[in-house]
Amino acid sequence: MQPKVVQSIMGHQHYSTTIDIYTHVTDAKFEEEIEKFGLALEEEPTEEAEDMEEGEDTGFGLMM
């Protein structure tokens, strides 16, 4: 069932309430998503990523 439908049925004012109560992450799904993240980090850099490494500002990016 879609979370927005559950939100409506349960009468929750905020979407976050519904998500916090009725969703969870299984260990298997967590591992699957971590693997995808790792694969994304291993991909060859794009031209944009190479430009950022050279100090060119694209106006957005991750801040750590």
Distance CA(41)–CA(16), nearest Å, equals 29
What per-residue confidence (pLDDT) applies to 60? 44
List, in order, residues 6 or more apart from 23 with CB less than 8 Å away. Answer: 3
Instruction: State in Å, rounded, how far the first CA of the chain is from the last one.
Output: 36
| 62 or 1, greater pLDDT | 1
Domain ranges of the chain: 3-43
Distance CA(22)–CA(2), nearest Å, equals 11
Structure tokens at 52: 């950022």
Distance CA(30)–CA(33), nearest Å, equals 5
pTM of the model: 0.45
pLDDT in tens, 6-63: 999 999 999 999 999 988 889 999 999 999 988 888 876 666 656 555 555 544 444 4
What per-residue confidence (pLDDT) applies to 29? 92
